[in-house]
Chains A and B, each alone.
Chain A
Amino acid sequence: MTALPDAPPAVAPPRSPGRSPGTRSRGPRLVRTALAYVCLLAVALLVLVPFAWMVSSSLKRDNEVLTVPIEWIPREFRWSNFAEIWDRIPMLTYLGNSAFLSVAITVLQVLTGSFAAYGFSKVRFPGRDALFLAYIATIAVPWQAYMVPQYIMMQRAELTDTYWSIILLQAFGAFGVFLMRQYYMSIPDDLCEAARIDGLSEYGIYVRIMLPLSKPALASLALLTFVNTWNDYMGPFIYLTSNDLWTVQLGLRSFVGQYDAEYAMIMTGAVLSVLPILVVFLFGQRYFIRGIATSGLKG
């Protein structure tokens, strides 16, 4: 099985509803299509209801959120919630912290990951494949099994409650190397060989040939890493104790703990924490899905 990122896109682009060879009469076909849409709509509704509820609640008063019967549309839209929240919690600091951590870790992961992947796929040397196997094996080990030794290390190095702890622990994951190697394996060796004959060094080949060719895979890795870091809860939860270092996730969780009856404000915070992810996702969704399909199916 060689599931290459560029070969079959996991999710095919919407094909125009052409007629398949087995088309019977037109009537039942229309009914079937309509039925299919009804089913799809029902599924989508079920999946999206929590989001709808979140957005609608974020625009209500606290005492209008949990009502019997449910009010799906706020009586009056309180856009002021979105102005107030910045004064209630240091949301801007949290968002900035999350953005900083996510960008730093993504940059390091993409750089070192793709660099190492070149070594693992295009340079031949003894011990290479054994080493790669060690990388793969660690992906299968649950992180929860070694979080305590990691914590001890960071504590001894006095890096707890600094961003260093999180960056060092998350920027060198095996996943990035694995994903990028998968992609590089799909680029023919002849291309590198030709470049070598033309006098390009290995580093030159990496920069001038592999990097430009692997843009889709780089995008997949960058987006997946960014979103993972943005959404990560346990890392910041374990390591960051000072309020001014907190990420959006920690800030929101602590707000919920302190003011658990301020339903509307909690939902406003939740919307704000999801919004950046939604934007990133809408811009790069095909890279997300490709990245998952590739790294997933090869397992």
Chain B
Amino acid sequence: MAHVITQPAPEDSRRRRRAWRGILIGWSFILPNFLGFALFTLVPMLAAFALAFLKWDSYNTPEWVGLENFRRLLRDENFFVALRNTLYYAAGHIPLTLAAALGLAIALDRKLRGVQFFRTAAFFPYITSLVAVAVVWNMLFNPTAGPVNQVLHAFGVDDPPRWVASTDWAMPAVIVTSVWRDMGYYMVLFLAGLQTIPKEYHEAARVDGANSWQRFWRITLPCLRPTTFFVVVMLTIQSFKVLDLIVVMTDGGPGRSTLVLAQLVYREGITKGRFGYSSAIALVLFVIVLTVTVVQFRLNERRSDR
């Protein structure tokens, strides 16, 4: 057919050639990054799914065992301790960071000379090196002579908690540190959200006699909803995968009181070389994060429909 010279044929082949050129050029741009991305992110990600169904302890040959790893998980006390601690961390970290970030953003969304300095100061903990943060807070939380307990003493708390030295108070100490570290980041997101609220809304409400409390609940919060939703989703994902702060600050202790899921994955998989079993834990972690995120998106949709 191609030999018959008709009008559309050269047109057609030219178009096809142009399409091929597009593909070649497009891929030539993407390839340098894609190679690294595929090899070191995509492949491990997919491998993680498969590994969860293998018995593979670094020395033996991998063997397909179906759901055995997950059955083992249900008998593993460490898993439930880690799950509980992760939920505990999330339950503290998400609302407190949200409140602190929103509070900071509203406090710093003003036309005041020098407000930029305060914004910078509030943001800085987020990019401070993690080890420095952990080391400093560990000393601040020192049970006997730490500044935190001295302040509590001054306010009349006679028997202040022993923080990172006690099984009951280590997690709250970690949560306080993480809120302090992360609030500046989310404050930036909230500040960006606040810029999108038209000033006229507030002015109109003020003319109608609404006080600042009413304006906050009736105007600021509803207008910020897209930002708030996004912040909650990000906070949730971040809380469930918390790892480095805990490794540096408490290393899961004292006892198992701050052991979290991601840390269990690290211990089982990299320290002990139980590749299959650790991947099952990782898969559970991923499914939890995914489920919570999907539920949040559903709730958000339903609320915007109304």
| Closest-CB distance, A31 to chain B (whole angstroms) | 14
Report how far A84 CA is from B104 CA in the complex, Å. 39
B99 contacts the other chain (CB 8 A): no
Nearest-neighbor residue (CB-CB) of A19 within chain B? B111
The A-contacting residues of B in range 34-58, CB under 8 angstroms, are 34-37, 39-45, 47-48, 51
B262 contacts the other chain (CB 8 A): yes
Among A20, A66, A234, the residue within 8 A (CB) of B142 is A66
Known: A119-B26, A142-B286, A202-B25. A149 touches B279 (CB 8 A): yes
Report how far A292 CA is from B192 CA in the complex, Å. 10
Report how far A135 CA is from B116 CA in the complex, Å. 35
| Closest-CB distance, A289 to chain B (whole angstroms) | 5
When the two chains form their complex, are residues A115 and B234 in contact, meaning their CB atoms are under 8 A apart?
A: no
Among B30, B45, B195, the residue within 8 A (CB) of A146 is B45
When the two chains form their complex, are residues B283 and A54 in contact, meaning their CB atoms are under 8 A apart?
A: no
| Closest-CB distance, A230 to chain B (whole angstroms) | 7
The B-contacting residues of A in range 154-176, CB under 8 angstroms, are 168-169, 171-174, 176
Nearest-neighbor residue (CB-CB) of A298 within chain B? B230
Please give, as numbers and ranges, the residues of chain B lying within 8 Å of A288 by CB-CB distance: 123, 127
Please give, as numbers and ranges, the residues of chain B lying within 8 Å of A248 by CB-CB distance: 129, 131
Among A13, A53, A143, A233, the residue within 8 A (CB) of B241 is A143
When the two chains form their complex, are residues A293 and B139 in contact, meaning their CB atoms are under 8 A apart?
A: no
Q: How many residues of A contact B (CB 8 A)?
A: 107
Among B22, B40, B144, the residue within 8 A (CB) of A169 is B40
Known: A8-B195, A47-B121, A277-B127. A149 touches B47 (CB 8 A): yes
A43 contacts the other chain (CB 8 A): yes
Please give, as numbers and ranges, the residues of chain B lying within 8 Å of A252 by CB-CB distance: 129, 131-132, 135
Contact bitstring A1-28, B, C-beta under 8 A = 1, else 0: 1010000101111111110111000000
When the two chains form their complex, are residues A293 and B41 in contact, meaning their CB atoms are under 8 A apart?
A: no
Report how far A146 CA is from B286 CA in the complex, Å. 10
| Closest-CB distance, B21 to chain A (whole angstroms) | 9
A283 contacts the other chain (CB 8 A): no
Report how far A230 CA is from B130 CA in the complex, Å. 10
Contact bitstring A236-280, B, C-beta under 8 A = 1, else 0: 011000000000110011001000000100110011011001100
A48 contacts the other chain (CB 8 A): yes
When the two chains form their complex, are residues A141 and B286 in contact, meaning their CB atoms are under 8 A apart?
A: yes
When the two chains form their complex, are residues B247 and A237 in contact, meaning their CB atoms are under 8 A apart?
A: yes
Q: Identify the stretch in B7-15, B155-163, B263-271 within 8 Å (CB) of chain A at 4 or more residues.
A: B263-271
A50 contacts the other chain (CB 8 A): yes
| Closest-CB distance, B186 to chain A (whole angstroms) | 9
When the two chains form their complex, are residues A53 and B140 in contact, meaning their CB atoms are under 8 A apart?
A: yes
Known: A10-B195, A171-B36, A299-B233. A227 touches B269 (CB 8 A): no
| Closest-CB distance, B42 to chain A (whole angstroms) | 7
When the two chains form their complex, are residues A142 and B34 in contact, meaning their CB atoms are under 8 A apart?
A: no
Report how far A151 CA is from B144 CA in the complex, Å. 41
The A-contacting residues of B in range 263-306, CB under 8 angstroms, are 265-266, 269-270, 275, 278-279, 282-283, 285-286, 289, 293
When the two chains form their complex, are residues B118 and A40 in contact, meaning their CB atoms are under 8 A apart?
A: yes
Among B40, B110, B244, B262, the residue within 8 A (CB) of A233 is B244
When the two chains form their complex, are residues A125 and B23 in contact, meaning their CB atoms are under 8 A apart?
A: yes
When the two chains form their complex, are residues B189 and A145 in contact, meaning their CB atoms are under 8 A apart?
A: no
Known: A3-B192, A70-B150, A292-B188. A142 touches B139 (CB 8 A): no
Known: A231-B129, A252-B135, A274-B132. A116 touches B44 (CB 8 A): no
| Closest-CB distance, A185 to chain B (whole angstroms) | 15
Please give, as numbers and ranges, the residues of chain A lying within 8 Å of B142 by CB-CB distance: 66
B81 contacts the other chain (CB 8 A): no
When the two chains form their complex, are residues A112 and B33 in contact, meaning their CB atoms are under 8 A apart?
A: yes
B113 contacts the other chain (CB 8 A): yes
Extra inter-chain contacts (11) besides given A8-B192, A253-B248, CB under 8 Å: A11-B191, A22-B206, A40-B118, A70-B150, A125-B25, A145-B241, A145-B265, A152-B47, A252-B132, A277-B127, A296-B188
CB pairs A–B below 8 angstroms (7 shown)? A47-B184, A112-B33, A147-B270, A148-B270, A174-B41, A238-B266, A292-B188
Q: Which 5 A-B pairs have the closest CB atoms?
A: A172-B36, A119-B29, A148-B269, A142-B241, A149-B44
